[in-house]
Each structure stands twice: as structure tokens, then as C-alpha cells.
Chains A and B, each alone.
Chain A
Amino acid sequence: MRVLFPALAVVVGLIILASLGAALGLDAIFGVLVPYAAFVTFVFGFIYRIVKWAQVPVPFRIPSTCGQHKSFPWLKNRSRIDNPSSWPGVVVRMFLEIFCFRSLFRNTKAEIHYTPFSADPPKVVYGSAKWLWLAGLAFHWSFLLIVVRHYRFFTEPIPWLVQFLESLDGFMQFGVPALYMTDGLILAAVTYLFIRRVVVPQLRYISLPADYFPLFLIFGIVVSGMLMRYITRIDVVGVKELAMGWVTLHPTVPDGIGIMFYIHLLLVSVLLAYFPFSKLMHAGGVFLSPTRNLANNNRVKRHINPWNYPVKVHTYEEYEDEFRDLMKEAGIPVEKE
């Protein structure tokens, strides 16, 4: 509770703040200034984090893989994707990692099984655990589709792809405005990701406010967005007017957009500004995972550690130059006469 409550309190505080801002008519601040500041923080913060990571040398390939390394030609079953020796394999491995969360697919669980009414000792049982992978995949893909769908507010004319994805998402034609499948999916996935942290004791033990906060924040964004679309209703044309104002750098705040929109907007702004400084940076970090994005070519190519201090060496050639005469005198064979 001590961990969970602060995260919840911050999100509730933000919702109250946005409501107050809308009620007091501070549209210029919450409708223009805050979103711009959040966007700039997001982009520059993201670049800053990546550049910071790029300054860390990776002197050696870290072959933490599950496949057979390329070695002798007669060695069969070498895995080209799991343990790639060159970049095409790395590209496939990275693709599967980023788009299918392959590492998470290999997630396992370890449980102690007791046999009731028996003197047998309890057994440790290992098994596959796919629920996290499934919920993660549903969450991330839904989120991506939702973001792309929102481009209908930021573009004029609206690109064909955005309209196509939107019609695909609202394919069920359930209710008016049509229910988006991704809305239901992301709500279910976020709820699962939260419940799993609370219910599984080991996970609850390692969970910090920084783990709960993004979950609550995203939950708040999803719920406020869905309320706005399906229940409390909103003047969509006004929202697009506002969004187009941002992207054409002529911000205007139309009247009558409503409090729910400002709650949604402030939560999204906070998510954007918080993003580069939090665990959410795994979005950029996944591209820089050394165990995933490096070909395992340690035995083929020499990798030099950049922080090695210069070592004084005395090569054989130099040694021979120095002692050639003495060596000849002593009858020791030399390479150069």
C-alpha cells in the first residue's frame, strides 16, 4: 500500500489539477503551453537518453543466446537467428524482438509443487509462462494502433492508412460512435498487467511506485479517452481544431471542449514528459540491447576494449633488431639478415 498509494495519488492529483484548470478557464496553459512543453521534453529527453547510452562502450559481444554458435563447418544445427554471426541474422533477431517480443515469449516460471497426503518431498517444476507475453503484446500493439488512429486529429487531409486502420479497428460496428477493438484490448491488458503486480507475491515485493505510476497513468488515459468517446461525449471538430492549431504552430483554443478532454490531455502530457526519465525508455532501449543487437563474432573478429590504457609492447621484430648482432654471434637463427 505504501508503494501503490503514492502512484495512485499522483494520478488522482493530476486529474483534479486538469479539472480545476478547465473549470477556471486556464485553457491557454493546459491546452497549449503544457502539451508543447511536454512534447519538447519528450523529444529532447529521448535523444538525451539515447546519446547518453551511446557513450557507453560495448567492447565485447555478449553471447547470452540459446543457440549453437557458428564454428566448424561440420557442426550441424547452428542457429542463424538465435546466435547470428553476421548482421542479417541480427536484423531478423531484432525484428522478432521488437515486433513479437521474442525474449518475453521464452518467459518461464518456477513453482514448488506439493503432493497432498504423501511423504514425497515437494518438487520444483519449471514451465512456460505466456500470459505476460500475450498481455504485453496486446498492450503494445493496441497502444500503437491507438496512437496512429489519433493522427486523424493531427493531419489534414487525413492519410489513407490512418482511415484504413480506423475502419479496421471499428470493424465490429458496435454502438455509436463505433467501439474500437483496441480500446477494449488495451483496457484488459493494462488491468492484467496491474493485477499481476498486486496478486503475485514476488512481483508485489519488487514493484516500486515507478512501476505502478505508468500503469495508473495509462489506465487514466485509456479510461478518460473512452469516457469521452463513448459516454460523456465531446465536440470532436473542436478537438481537431485545437490539435491542428498545435501542428501548424497557430494554437487556438476553441470553446466547449469539456473537462474530460483536458483530463485526457494533461495525463498524456505527463506521460510524454515522464517518458524519457522512466522505465518507459525501454522503447528506445530495446534497440540498444547488447545481447540482442550484436552479432556473436567474438572468435572471428578482434574487439578492442576502448578503455584499455596503452600497453607497452616489444615485438619480436624490434627484439631482433636490438639483439641481431649478438644473436648471430651466438649462432641463434634470425629472421632478417
Chain B
Amino acid sequence: MMYDKKLIIPGLVIFVWLMTLPFWYNSGKATAAPEVKIDTPVIQEMAEKKCIEDKQYMREAHMQVLDDWRDEVVRERKRVEVTTGGKTYEMSLQNECMKCHSNKAEFCDKCHDYVAVDPYCWDCHIEPKEKK
């Protein structure tokens, strides 16, 4: 025997609805994780298709690399970064990263949008012009 059913049952319905909201929200929608595209002209011409570090590291830590670069360039006036493999890279988002990854919409934005990350790179940097 339950008391105050007319308040408690709607309350429980709201509770269940709230808790299962993602199930309703996404039902019937096919979702696939975004595939980042690296088929830009510059990358295609590369003999060894390799970023400054390996793929997994770049996936997880590219934002920290960029943050460190910014601090070093802006505060220390150090513009050259030597990474593993003895290759020399310029610490520059616009001139180095975007040289290969010239496809911002397909490369940067896809994942950032997927996980609601809104980096403020382009508050200062000039966004590459892309053909839509």
C-alpha cells in the first residue's frame, strides 16, 4: 500500500526519465566516431607519413604540445623545436601544423565538435581559408 501516489509516482517517472534521457535522446540515431582525414596534398607527398610524435600521443596530447609551444614562442622567443628522429620543426600552429593539416574542418573541427571542445586557437591565429 503506497501513500501519496499522485505525487510520488509522477516524481519517480520524472526520475526515470531524467536518468534514461541519453537513451531517448540518441535512440534511432546512428553514431560513428569521427574519422580524421589526413589526405591533404602535403601529407600525400610525404615519404614517411608521420607527425612530430606518434599517432596515439598526438591524439591525447596535441593540445599540451601546442600550449607549450605557445609559451616558449611568446615568452622565451624560442621558435625551433627538435623532436625525436632528429627532425627540426618550427613551433608554429599556422606555419607548421597547418602546412600539412591544411584541412581544418575535416581534421581539427570534426573531433572537437564531437566532444564539444572549443579551443581558442583562432581567437588570435588566422584561420586557413578552405574551399567549402
Contact = CB atoms under 8 A, between A and B. Distances in A.
A238 B59 CA distance: 10
The main secondary structure of chain B at its interface with chain A is: helix
B4 A152 contact: no
Interface string A39-81: 1001100110011001111100000000000000000000000
B111 A248 contact: no
A244 B31 contact: yes
A54 B116 contact: no
**Interface residue range, chain B:** 35 or more
Contacts of A152: 115-116
A237 B59 contact: yes
Contacts of B114: 156, 237, 240
Contacts of B116: 152, 158, 162-163, 166
A151 interface: yes
A154 B115 CA distance: 10
Nearest to A158: B116
B2 A51 contact: yes
Contacts, number: 96
B85 to A, nearest CB: 21
**Interface residue range, chain A:** 35 or more
Contacts of B64: 176, 233
B36 to A, nearest CB: 9
A46 B120 contact: no
B127 interface: no
Given A46-B15, A233-B60, A256-B56, A54 B120 contact: no
B8 interface: yes
Nearest to A294: B4
The main secondary structure of chain A at its interface with chain B is: helix
B16 interface: yes
B27 interface: yes
Given A173-B120, A176-B66, A235-B60, A54 B8 contact: yes
B60 A50 contact: no
A248 B31 contact: yes
A155 B116 CA distance: 10
Contacts of A234: 60
B60 A177 contact: no
A241 interface: yes
A175 B64 CA distance: 9
Interface string A149-190: 001111110100011001100000101110000000000000
B22 A237 contact: no
25 contacts: A42-B19, A43-B16, A47-B16, A51-B12, A55-B2, A152-B115, A154-B22, A155-B25, A158-B116, A162-B116, A176-B63, A176-B67, A176-B119, A177-B117, A233-B64, A235-B60, A236-B111, A237-B111, A238-B33, A241-B33, A244-B26, A254-B33, A284-B15, A287-B11, A306-B3
| A-B interface, 10 closest residue pairs, ranked by CB to CB distance from nearest | A154-B22, A176-B67, A247-B22, A233-B60, A241-B33, A152-B116, A54-B2, A176-B63, A158-B116, A244-B31
Given A50-B8, A173-B120, A284-B15, 17 more contacts: A43-B20, A51-B8, A54-B3, A153-B115, A155-B22, A158-B116, A167-B118, A176-B63, A176-B66, A177-B63, A236-B111, A236-B117, A240-B33, A240-B114, A248-B31, A254-B33, A306-B3
